[in-house]
Amino acid sequence: MRGGVIESAYFSENSANRLDNPLLIVKDRTALAGNRRRPIIKDREAIILQYPQLPPLLSLKRLAPGEDPFETAVAAAGSGEGEAGDFHWSQRLDRVELAIVLEPESPVAESLTMLPLAMVAFGDALGAIGPPVLAVHFRWPDAVDVNGGFVGGFRVAMAEVEDDDQVPAWLVIGFSIAVQMDLTDDAPGRKVNETTLYDEGCGDITADQLTESFARHFLTWVHRWQEEGFEPVRLAWLARLKQSEEPKKEIDSQGGLCREGSKTRPLSDALAGPSWVSR
């Protein structure tokens, strides 16, 4: 954010050896897959869930798989215990679930543009480590599709303010993305139009790798936002906007949804709750 609350950082793709800190090693993959008899991670002899290696500006807060990183981050920020850069991360194999605490220095509308910024960072992060041909698209304001199938989405929460000209004390951005099938779900299949990264050819991507890639790209985009404003973010987000109806949809200079130049919904609508939870 502005004023150096969160600054930019650049570091090597291979700056950390993830094998130094494995969380879990399971040698029998098909046993965990149950009657599906399907390997959890393609072409691996074991499942290794490791702690992601984050840049110094982000502080990893590990959570058990049953804990919600977003709700935990919001509770910590609201109580005053959270700090800018706290990176709450769930130790799950099947999904990447995380949330970042930010301390804005701008009014509500500008602060909320961290939501599309984080989505752009995710698209770049997945593109950097995924297969060469991978279609990552967004649906306003917070949903993510891969190769036409829904894989998850983003969430945002903010400290209460008396009016939109005030600077919120904190902002939390989080997301939940399906890496592979839910091993605890006995249902015969997912909902129509839902998919996972595994099913879309990303079988070699693990939760910690995607988390690390997102952290790098998020800080890079924050740095660019500080230097150039929201316009580069807006254009990058529009490049991934899923166009499914007419008139053509766009987002304005504050991330609001527009059709044919007329604003139809402000980005603050995302504060009411994620659009994808009821899917």
Read off the amino acid at residue 249. Answer: K
202, 134 contact by CB (below 8 A): yes
Q: Would 102 be classed as within a structural domain?
A: yes
260 located within any domain: yes
Task: Say what the pLDDT of residue 193 is.
Answer: 87
* Count of domains for the chain: 1
Q: Is residue 50 part of a domain?
A: no
Residue 201 belongs to some domain of the structure: yes
Q: In this predicted model, what pLDDT tens digit does every residue of 8-43 receive, in sequence order?
A: 333 333 333 333 444 443 333 333 333 333 334 444
Q: Which of 108, 203, 204, 119 is nearest to 154 (CA)?
A: 119
222-276 pLDDT, tens digit per residue, is: 999 999 999 999 999 999 998 765 568 889 999 999 987 676 899 999 999 999 9
The pLDDT tens digits of the residues spanning 104-158 come to 999 999 999 999 999 999 999 999 999 988 999 999 999 999 999 999 999 999 9
145, containing H or E segment: strand 143-146
CATH of the domain at 223: 3.30.930.10
Whether 162 is in a domain gets the answer: yes
Q: Is residue 136 situated within a structural domain?
A: yes
Domain that holds residue 114: 2-12+56-272
- Is position 66 within any domain? yes
The residue count of the chain comes to: 279
If DSSP codes are grouped into helix, strand and coil, which group holds residue 41?
coil
Task: Give the pLDDT confidence of 175-208 residue by residue, as tens digits.
Answer: 999 998 765 554 545 567 899 999 999 988 999 9
Q: What is the pTM of this model?
A: 0.83
112 found inside a domain? yes
